[in-house]
């Protein structure tokens, strides 16, 4: 095959950004391209390239076209097949909708949006464009995860009754100062709901909802949400989230995560069936899709599986392989609905200063943590309960609850409450 023909067989990606998480998209696409996969990094929107001139020059040396503005990138209709958007939550709706309108399939970073009505607006934009909107929940691009779901639907552990997810993920002060929307409920009039559940650990609530769904390519239907929201850091939103979701499929999901702890663990996930239970530690050295979920000491999934590059999955899907695992908005919407329910149900409570400590790291950054938080989260996982139910958090409050079955609009007044 000549070079021209070979190139035309590749899916050509245009990435928005040259800083922050954009570097992950760039790196993953280039890695797949260099390994011989049918993908190509064709263009990058290098806004403020002076902040990463080294990478800009490296990309130009590889023949990647750099563009100064978004409309310039979208004008490359004849040389690009897909736009990727590793951008902040406030930009998800306008930038994704614009790319769809311009005729491009879009790979949008997770989460879909902050507010459920914005997610539904993107769903409508997808339908109107006739192009696919992929959502960057990388686990749902993995064949091993879809195999797990097939086994769950087949009843290998009996009817799934409960899932427990706990993430002990400390984040320092610089994490909340990295941009203008980090730690915010609302940024410039856009609902963002930044928190462990809607950012760093969003993959694992999306995964639980996907695995709890009653059909292979669909997530569960959330019915009600109980929530506890806390903050130790001086932010607007929560750095600690504890929730209980009841789904229409009859599955109880108890999900807790905190950035205000001292040490890292998990995410830990346990799936409890009528017959047996599965568990996995996503922080395991070999990662979950390699080690597989364990079932009472035995491997439940193949231990030789390897992670699949999501951009390769996108390329294959766009070339017509419509039965391969990808994550679209029809899977990811449930996560947005749950996050909206959590914030509609509960206010963000400030943890009293007497329980909070600050530790200055060697690099000068500061980690804010709550006394005993790691032990509290360990109890949440062991008992399958929420923070207030452990009996260890004197600063906690009983959860509030809301019905999310008809929740289609989240107002700023719903979340900016005392």
Same domain, yes or no: 358 and 287: yes
236's enclosing H/E stretch is: none
Say if 255 falls within a structural domain. yes
Range of the domain at 295: 143-304+327-415
Asked whether 274 and 250 are in contact (CB, 8 A), the reply is: no
pTM: 0.94
What is the arithmetic mean of pLDDT over 378-389?
98
Asked whether 295 and 277 are in contact (CB, 8 A), the reply is: yes
Encode pLDDT of 355-376 as tens digits.
999 999 999 999 999 999 999 9
What is the arithmetic mean of pLDDT over 126-133?
98
What's residue 302's pLDDT? 63
What's residue 5's pLDDT? 40
User: CA 133: distance to chain centroid?
Assistant: 15
Residue ending a domain, among 74, 109, 138, is 138
Asked whether 134 and 358 are in contact (CB, 8 A), the reply is: no
Encode pLDDT of 24-61 as tens digits.
999 999 999 999 999 999 999 998 888 889 999 999 99
Same domain, yes or no: 405 and 383: yes
Residue percentage of the chain with pLDDT more than 70:
92
What is the arithmetic mean of pLDDT over 300-307?
67
Locate 86 and state its tokens. 């590793």
Distance in angstroms (rounded) separating the CA atoms of residues 19 and 48: 9
What's residue 307's pLDDT? 83
Q: How many domains does the chain have?
A: 2
Distance in angstroms (rounded) separating the CA atoms of residues 305 and 76: 37
Encode pLDDT of 195-229 as tens digits.
999 999 999 999 999 999 999 999 999 999 999 99
Asked whether 333 and 133 are in contact (CB, 8 A), the reply is: no
Encode pLDDT of 149-191 as tens digits.
999 999 999 999 999 999 999 999 999 999 999 999 999 999 9
CATH classification at residue 93: 3.40.50.720
Locate 99 and state its tokens. 């790319």
Say if 322 falls within a structural domain. no
Same domain, yes or no: 231 and 352: yes
Same domain, yes or no: 24 and 122: yes
Distance in angstroms (rounded) separating the CA atoms of residues 282 and 303: 14
Same domain, yes or no: 221 and 365: yes
Same domain, yes or no: 163 and 33: no
With cut-offs at 50, 70 and 90, classify the pLDDT of residue 280. confident
Say if 311 falls within a structural domain. no
DSSP letter at 91? G
Same domain, yes or no: 155 and 101: no
Say if 7 falls within a structural domain. yes
Q: Is the pLDDT of residue 91 over 70?
A: yes
Say if 309 falls within a structural domain. no
């Amino acid at each position: 095959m000549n070079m021209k023909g070979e190139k035309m067989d590749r899916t050509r990606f245009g990435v928005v950004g040259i800083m922050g998480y954009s570097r992950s998209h760039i790196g993953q696409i280039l890695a797949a391209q260099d390994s011989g996969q049918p993908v190509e990094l064709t263009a990058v929107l290098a806004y403020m390239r002076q902040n990463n001139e080294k990478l800009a020059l490296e990309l130009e040396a590889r023949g990647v076209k750099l563009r100064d503005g978004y409309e310039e990138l979208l004008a490359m209709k004849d040389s690009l097949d897909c736009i990727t958007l590793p951008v902040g939550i406030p930009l998800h709706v306008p930038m994704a909708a614009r790319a769809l309108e311009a005729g491009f399939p879009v790979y949008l970073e997770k989460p879909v949006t902050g507010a459920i009505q914005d997610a539904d607006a993107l769903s409508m934009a997808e339908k109107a464009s006739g192009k696919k909107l992929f959502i960057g929940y990388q686990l749902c691009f993995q064949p091993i995860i879809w195999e797990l779901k097939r086994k769950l639907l087949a009843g290998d552990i009996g009817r799934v009754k409960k899932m427990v997810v706990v993430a002990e993920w400390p984040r320092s002060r610089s994490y909340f100062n990295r941009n203008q929307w980090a730690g915010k409920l609302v940024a410039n009039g856009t609902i963002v709901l930044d928190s462990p559940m809607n950012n760093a650990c969003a993959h694992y609530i999306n995964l639980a909802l996907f695995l709890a769904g009653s059909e292979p390519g669909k997530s569960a239907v959330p019915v009600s949400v109980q929530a506890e929201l806390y903050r130790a850091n001086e932010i607007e939103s929560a750095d600690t989230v504890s929730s209980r979701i009841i789904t229409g499929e009859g599955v109880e999901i108890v999900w807790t995560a905190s950035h205000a702890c001292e040490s890292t663990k998990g995410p830990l996930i346990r799936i409890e069936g009528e017959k047996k239970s599965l568990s996995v530690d996503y922080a395991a050295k070999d990662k979950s899709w390699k080690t597989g979920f364990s079932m009472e000491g035995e491997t439940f999934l193949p231990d030789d599986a390897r992670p699949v590059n999501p951009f390769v999955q996108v390329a294959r899907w766009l070339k017509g392989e419509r039965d391969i695992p990808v994550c679209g908005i029809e899977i990811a919407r449930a996560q947005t609905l749950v996050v909206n329910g959590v914030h509609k149900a509960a206010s963000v409570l400030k943890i009293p200063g007497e329980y909070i400590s600050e530790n200055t790291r060697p690099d000068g950054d500061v980690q804010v943590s709550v006394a005993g938080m790691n032990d509290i989260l360990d109890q949440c996982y062991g008992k399958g309960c929420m923070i207030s139910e452990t009996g260890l958090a004197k600063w906690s409050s009983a959860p509030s609850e809301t019905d999310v079955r008809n929740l289609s609009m989240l107002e700023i007044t719903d979340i900016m409450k005392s």
